[in-house]
Structure 1
């Protein structure tokens, strides 16, 4: 048996942390001396503790680790494989965001060195007034938080594509997202995932055409807020009003592009003259 101090030293986990892990049911001492309360861990628990440490190094939360381990030293391979795939996607998404941030930061530093304000890029965003045609869209409408968007895109578009294949529908355009919420809510926003199709069948609706203020973003989705701000400013200056929910059209598939610089997104604000 190992004292809590010896166990702590070998695994490089403080005794305070070990006591906390005991409280939350992550790993319990094998024995506790009833006379003095000293805690002892068995040799076989070293493997479990090292396993917990490895999962922590993969940025799993303690609750996630408990779910994976579920009281077992050797959880099912399927459960572990699924959890690792999911966490890898999360980390990759964070890395991509950090890479985008570094690119933007380097550009801002270069601009400042050249006497250009960091917000000067807003003046380079072009807005066009276009006339769009009505279309049938196959859609899924959900309340989605920002953290759920990435997974939601894949889940709901896959479902829509499956319906198109199952019912032999004719795809008439690229994926779209329509945002219906009047204000931003971190807990969830009214989001409609849509695919244009030629046929009007169950599960489709008409997206009315008409006059739209349009802007095209080439690059990371993180810059979409700037495009939205520019469009809203243009609408105000040109004395138009928003008539329907704004929407995005994804000209390029994010899963088929190697860098975010290759992404092309069209943003539409349906408008009418005041």
Structure 2
């Protein structure tokens, strides 16, 4: 048996952390002395601790690691590979986003050195007034928290694609997201995921056509707030008002872009003249 101190030293984890892991049920000592309360760990627990450390280094949360350990008995290597691949994809996306942010920062610095205001780029976001046609969509509506947005898009669009494949429906376009909440709420936003289809089946409806202020976002989704701000400014300036929820059309789907700069997203504000 290993004392908590020796176990701590071998695994590179503080005794305070080990006590916390025991408190949350992630890693319990193999034995606790009944008289003095000293904690002891078995040799076989070294492997488990190193496994936890490895998953932490891959940016898994403690809750995620705990869930994986609780399913350890039926956790095959194949399932573990699937989880690791998902995490790998998330990390690549974060790395690409950071690379883009650094590139954007360098671009802003170069502009400012030339006397160009940092926010001047907003004036270069083009807005068009377009007449859209009704779109028949298969949709799924969900209240999404801020954390859900990071992973939820793939999850819900995957469900829609699976239904299209199962029911042999005819796909007519790229994914659409419609935002129904009147304001942003980190605790939950009313979001509708949709795919254009030909058939009228349960779960389909018409997305009305009509007059829209339209802009195109070329780059990562973090740029969408600038596009929304420019569209709202244009709507107000030109004497229009919003009549329905804004929506986005993903001309380039996330899985089809190797870097954020390749993403193309159309943003539509349904409007009418005041």
* TM-score, with structure 1 as normaliser: 0.90
Cα distance per residue 1:116-138 (max 9 Å; x no partner) = 21111000001111111122222
Change (3 A) 1:102 1:35: same
Alignment partner, residue 202 of structure 2: 202
Aligned partners of 1:48 and 1:73 also within 8 Å: no
State how far apart, in whole Å, the 1-side matches of 2:102 and 2:122 are. 19
Alignment deviations for residues 61-103 of structure 1 (CA, whole Å, 9 cap, x no partner): 2222222222969954355334323332332332232222212
Separation in 1, partners of 2:166, 2:228: 36
Deviation at 1:168, TM superposition (A): 4.2
Shift in CA distance, 148/93, structure 1 to aligned 2, threshold 3 Å: farther
Q: Residue 84 of structure 2 corresponds to which residue in structure 1?
A: 84
Shift of 1:258: 1.7
Distance in 2 separating the partners of 1:249 and 1:162: 19
SS at match of 2:182: coil
Partner of 1:159: 159
Partner of 2:171: 171
Q: Which residue of 1 aligns with 2:250?
A: 250
* Residues 37 and 73 of structure 1, relative CA distance in 2, 3 Å threshold: farther
SS of equivalent to 2:105: helix
SS of the residue 1:139 aligns to: strand
Shift of 1:234: 0.4
TM superposition shift of 1:273: 0.6
Secondary structure at the counterpart of residue 206 of structure 1: strand
Q: Which residue of 2 aligns with 1:215?
A: 215
Distance 1:45 1:203, change over 3 A: closer
Q: Distance in 1 between matches of 2:54 and 2:73?
A: 13
Report matched runs for 1:48-127 at 5 Å: 48-70=48-70, 76-127=76-127
What do residues 153-182 of structure 1 show as CA deviations (whole Å, max 9, x unaligned)?
223323333433444443332221111110
Structure 2 counterpart of 1:228: 228
Q: 1:18 — aligned with what?
A: 18
Cα separation, 1, equivalents of 2:199 and 2:230: 35
Once the two structures are overlaid, the 10-residue window that deviates more, 18-27 or 112-121, is 18-27
8 Å CA contact 2:96–2:259 kept in 1: the answer is: no
- How many residues in Structure 1 have an aligned counterpart in Structure 2? 274
Give yes or no for contact 2:97–2:260 (8 Å, CA) kept in 1. Answer: no
Local SS of the residue matching 1:130: strand
Cα distance in 2 for partners of 1:213, 1:74 equals: 52
Task: State the partner residue of 2:185.
Answer: 185
**Alignment partners' CA distance in 2, 1:142 and 1:82:** 25
3-state SS of paired residue (2:118):
coil
- Structure 1 alignment gaps of length 5 or more: none
Instruction: Give, in whole Å, the separation in 2 of the partners of 1:7 and 1:176.
Output: 52
2:34 counterpart of 1:41: no
Q: Could you tell me how far 1:213 is from its partner in structure 2?
A: 0.7
Structure 2: segments with no counterpart, 5+ residues: none
Looking at structure 2, the residues matched to 156 and 37 of structure 1 have their Cα atoms a distance apart, in angstroms, of 49
TM-score normalized by structure 2? 0.90
